[in-house]
Amino acid sequence: MSPACLRAGVVWLTLALTGVLGCATHQQKKLEAHYGPSESILEVVATLRRHVPDDTYRFPPATDFTGRNVYLSALLRLESIERIHADALRTGYMSGVIAFSKGRALERIRGYDVAAMQYREAARLDEELAAEALRSAKVCDGLAEARQIGLQPVDPLDPDPEPLLLPAVIDADWVVTVMDQRTALLSYLLEENRDNHYEAVIREEIERGEEIRASWFEQHRYDLPNGQVRSISELQRVVSRNAASKEYLRHMLRLAELYDILAHEYVEAVPPVSLDFDPARFQDLVDPAVHLYESVASNDGSTEKLEASRRLEAFLAFTLVVDRDRFTF
């Protein structure tokens, strides 16, 4: 075969392959356009299915490749898919799955009331999901109800915040009663959901209630009889009841900080150079603060380690200043 014929054959073969590949690429793009929304939704569903069983009470929630909370990321992706592929999804063939997945994401970021609405919508749209969706809606209703009982945290940046305490008079007994009611309802839900992913969600909510209660006593420690002792006791309660929590070191750090603050307040009220200064009382605040700071600082790999180390250094420097003032003036 002559070189000219060989070159002609190669050219024709190249053109033929180009046509075939072009058709294949066009067909592939059509398939991607048709199945793209479903594929994107199923990808989010797979991510949620993998992480729904995670024990987020004991361990931090998983993150996506951007470092964002995986549940929040899933919710945002679902909303983005609905917006971008509105035409392709207008038939509603994936609406039930989307609503159910939104419920799963929302319940992990404390949007219990909205999650319950999404679950009921999923039950209405998809018979196969109805039983589980309605059961989940009931649990989310219970969580939303419990969350509304008792004290509500106040946004410190809100220009017009609602009062933290409903009664006009500061009443520690009322606080204990309503927060116990909240815990009792959550404990009832916990007993009904021991063997599913809601156990971690409910434990987190119980822990938050205990933190809110301790915060109230800390904020009102000068308004209550033995308020300083009570505020320490409430924070110790949070630490002891949540030893398995991912926030355990944070709770210990918060208790250490309270001892730290009380030590500073004592020195401001009773200067070390005065005859009224009681070294024993001061040391009763120093010892637990140092012990707690050291305990947290010994946990390698935690973000609290660095904070505890720096706070410990600052606190020890403060105690050295107190000793200097006591013995040099």
- pLDDT for 19 beyond 80: no
Please tell me the least confidently modeled range out of 45-54, 149-158, 277-286: 149-158
The winner for highest mean pLDDT among 36-40, 62-66, 169-173, 176-180 is 176-180
Long-range contact pairs involving 288-292 (C-beta distance under 8 Å, separation at least 24)? 288/255, 288/256, 288/259, 289/256, 289/259, 289/260, 289/263, 289/315, 290/315, 290/316, 292/252, 292/253, 292/255, 292/256, 292/259
Phi, psi of 280 (to 5 degrees): -65, -45
- The closest of 123, 195, 113 to 147, measured between CA atoms, is 113
pLDDT confidence tier of residue 86, bands split at 50, 70 and 90: confident
**Among residues of the chain, what percentage have pLDDT more than 90?**
70
- The closest of 70, 53, 100 to 197, measured between CA atoms, is 53
Phi, psi of 169 (to 5 degrees): -105, 140
* Bridge partners of residue 63, in order along the sequence: 69
Burial of 92 (0-12, 13-18, 19+ CB in 10 A): exposed
Domain ranges of the chain: 1-148, 165-238, 247-329
The single residue listed with the structure tokens 């120093």 is: 286
- pLDDT for 9 beyond 70: no
Phi, psi of 278 (to 5 degrees): -110, 105
Assess contact for 183 and 205: CB atoms under 8 A: no
